[in-house]
A and B are shown apart, each in its own frame.
Chain A
Amino acid sequence: MTESSPTPYVVEMRDIVKTFPGVRALDGVSFSVRQGEIHALVGKNGAGKSTLMQVLNGLYPQDSGQIVVRGQTIDRMTTARAREVGIALVAQHAKFVPGLSIAENIFAGSLPRHGAGFVDWGRVNREASERLARFGLQIDVRRKMEALTVAERQMIEIARALFADASVIILDEPTAPLPKHEVRLLFEFVRRQREHGASFIYISHYLEEVFALADRVTTLRNGRVVGSAPTADLTLPQLVRLISGADVERFRRPARADVGESVLEIEHLTRPDAYDDVSLRLHAGEVVGLTGLEGSGNGALARGLFGLEPVGTGTVRLDGKPYRADNPAAALAQRLAYLPRDRHGLGIVGIRSVRDNVSLSVLDRLVNALGFVSDRRERQLVQRYVDALGIKTPGLGQAVENLSGGNQQKVVVAKLVATEPRVLLLDEPTQGVDVQAKVEILRIVDDLTRDGVAVAIVSDELTELTDVCDRILVFHRGRVIREFRKGIDEMTPERVLDAIEGGGEEGSDAVA
């Protein structure tokens, strides 16, 4: 996309209106994508991005407005029609059969056969390899899908779509589950396909990535387009302002001078293949970042402490008492709470209500003399946290799966905070959460530290960590190799990143 004369539009959506009972999800949205363009679509949760893409993909019919694909007006878009005209959606978690090989997944439903009707495995594997090679993917197609990294799966899904003659590929939050180095691989791959003329619509909350990848960015707010411009003409603060509609941006937490007594003391904690001789302390009122490459031991440490995985050998003390948790129930009983990275898998019970989710861990405290949960006390408790965290929900009875990502995450936070923890471990707390909700969640974390809670955040969002943490510990291959202290060390995202990527080479001197 360096040539000066613009390429033709492949997709034009004009004045799209889509209403759901009570909600005008899209209010006259026009959105166009040129050939060979990576066009980012940004906006808060609930701004209309997904609805717009689902209209384009034929999942919902629009109430009014036009969809034109390569000059041809599509009267009634359906998912089948979308596929015919070359529109494909690649979801965050690609839809594959994990137990089957890459080749089988590529040919799913149309495996080449011998005359007698048996599958021609030689041809399956050969052709699958050739197809992937054409898109620059050198990979053993006999490997099982489940053995691949998430980024590899996404690349294969993109290749599969391109092979099926897709010319416009919608990438919905592709990088949310990816560690940083895989993001780079995915982006290189996407750029390469763009050079061959494919167009991409790229939905993301990660604005740095939008600038790194996209040619153009369109911003939605409350179902309307509030801006559309080449990324080169925009700055990050401008884009944030467009998205939020106000000057809400980052939440910066000042360094705390008055850190309290130590709450959690970990000494020589070792679990083979996870972490190795880790010693660290968390103090009351302190926020400590635990960062590192994927699999460097920071996430495993948090899961181990909470009893989701074996914790290994070594000593752990909480408030001076020996601490041990073989399961989450034991951890919560000792007032250590954990916010899981995998919100859908471990965080929310999606089909149950906001009320049921928030009170789930503290039901025993809400019972009356007869052992029944007191409706009044439960409502009071849940309402208090819904108000305190600004959870936007039509009511306490609303199923959590119907809330936006940011509000789902706040429900999980509310559930944890309700247990009145002494130690709070947060694993990627702002993943898949919009800018505003991110700030609100971090503000709650700050409030908790004022009450003397010790907080640790497992994350590779370095800007966020340097904004809120008092200290950041860098993990590398299971060991803590570096400590940054706010106000003492130069704690900037760049420096922390250097330490992470430098790994053991230069950081072997400093230890927590």
Chain B
Amino acid sequence: MPWRKHLPTVLDNLIWVILAAVFVFFATQSDKFLTPINIRNILAAAAVLGVLVVGQTFVLITGNFDLSTESTLGLAALLGLWLIVPAHAPNWGGGMMWNPYVSIAAILVMGAVIGWVIGALITYGKMNNFIVTLAFLLILRGAMLRFTEGNAVNGLNFPPADIFYWLGHETAFTLPWVGKIPVAVVAMLLLFLIGWAVLEHRPFGRDLYAIGGNRSAAVASGIDADKRIRQVYVVSGVLAAFAGWMLAGRVASVQVDLGNGYIFQVMAACVIGGISLQGGRGSIVGALGGVLLLSTIDRGLNLMQVSVFWVKLIQGLIILIAMFIDAQKIRFRSPVVESDANLPGTAPAGSPAD
């Protein structure tokens, strides 16, 4: 049975099979689907989500969550523009007139600081990661509301904001057939590439998998798990701020609710892509597949002119179906070599012996 040998490989890359199936489906439903402009749109729509997913993947692999990234994104986008625009209409802002490069550096540092504080509360403060990041999701969004009192910052037709526009909109290069590839897409793919290299091939990334797989054993193997956890939250915070920069350039005008609700898509993309919420399992390459699947579905439904009243429902169902298929993987895996010390259900039950 030579195909059996390849079965695990196929199962590990199931997301790409699903993505291909969805692609074929939409292509048969709409002749506008397989067009250069649509492919470009799918990629462009995936860019901001993808950047958040890279950061989230780092956190999830250690067995933690970061729910706060959508608020960090919103705050970074707002603050980045606010620092460079004049104080009065049509550009409501701080009147600080900062150099835009300094402003971008500032929001990236802000992302790092937010991440470090979250990580410190979880590790030094021994607080639950889900609750801490949920609190930050609210705190950062709340700070933004309080700060703007509902005003939007507008960077449209304001030359110093070009650096935002560059990341959000500019073309990096032109490919045959597909056409213009946005800087945002190149940046996202580069971040996935760097993320992959770090997670799979740097001692740092390997430590993260060990921490997520069995934190106590990782510590007993000489890994400073607490430090690593603070570091992944810094990574996640910086990437969220980076995504804010990108999104500010895309929308030009930053409203207080920018990024609101993104976290569900981020989590969905990671999990569909095979990243385990328990930590220790999953590849960032799969997470990229999850991102592309979500934005493909989004564009596809759009092209099929499905009523907006249906979209959320259909998205939810597709996520559920993808997860269902994924959950069945375990049945096809060959059972374990018998290990007497490890009957199912009797495995690690703490160590009452001590």
Contact = CB atoms under 8 A, between A and B. Distances in A.
A507 B252 CA distance: 83
Contacts of B344: 59
A91 B216 contact: no
A484 interface: no
Nearest to A223: B338
A341 B336 CA distance: 23
Given A356-B206, A371-B202, A403-B337, A172 B343 contact: yes
Nearest to B213: A349
Contacts of B353: 150, 177-179, 341-342
Interface residues of A, number: 75
Nearest to A337: B222
A349 B348 contact: no
A341 B220 contact: no
A21 B214 contact: no
Contact of A344 (B218, B222, B342, B354): B342
A95 interface: yes
B345 A91 contact: yes
A352 B222 contact: no
Contact of A342 (B340, B343, B354): B354
Interface in B9-56: none
Interface stretch (A31-39, A161-169, A326-334): A326-334
Contact of B217 (A178, A349, A371): A349
A240 B338 CA distance: 20
Classify the secondary structure of B's interface with A. loop
A328 B222 contact: yes
B116 interface: no
A360 B224 CA distance: 12
B189 to A, nearest CB: 19
Contact of B206 (A179, A306, A363, A404): A363
A343 B337 CA distance: 18
A48 B340 CA distance: 8
Contacts of A385: none
A92 to B, nearest CB: 6
B221 interface: yes
Contact of A150 (B207, B221, B338, B352): B352
By CB atoms of chain A within 10 A, which of B220, B281, B337 has the most? B220
Interface string B323-354: 00000000000111111111111111111111
20 contacts: A20-B335, A46-B337, A49-B340, A59-B344, A92-B346, A172-B340, A172-B346, A177-B353, A299-B354, A308-B220, A329-B224, A332-B221, A343-B341, A349-B214, A351-B281, A367-B203, A375-B201, A402-B336, A403-B337, A405-B341
Interface of A: 20-23, 25, 45-46, 48-51, 54, 59, 89, 91-93, 95, 149-150, 153, 172-173, 176-179, 203, 205, 299, 306, 308, 327-329, 331-333, 338, 340-352, 356, 359-361, 363-364, 366-367, 371-373, 375, 394, 401-405, 408, 415, 419, 432, 434
Top 9 closest pairs, chain A to chain B, by CB: A405-B341, A93-B349, A344-B348, A363-B203, A177-B353, A91-B346, A342-B351, A349-B213, A332-B222
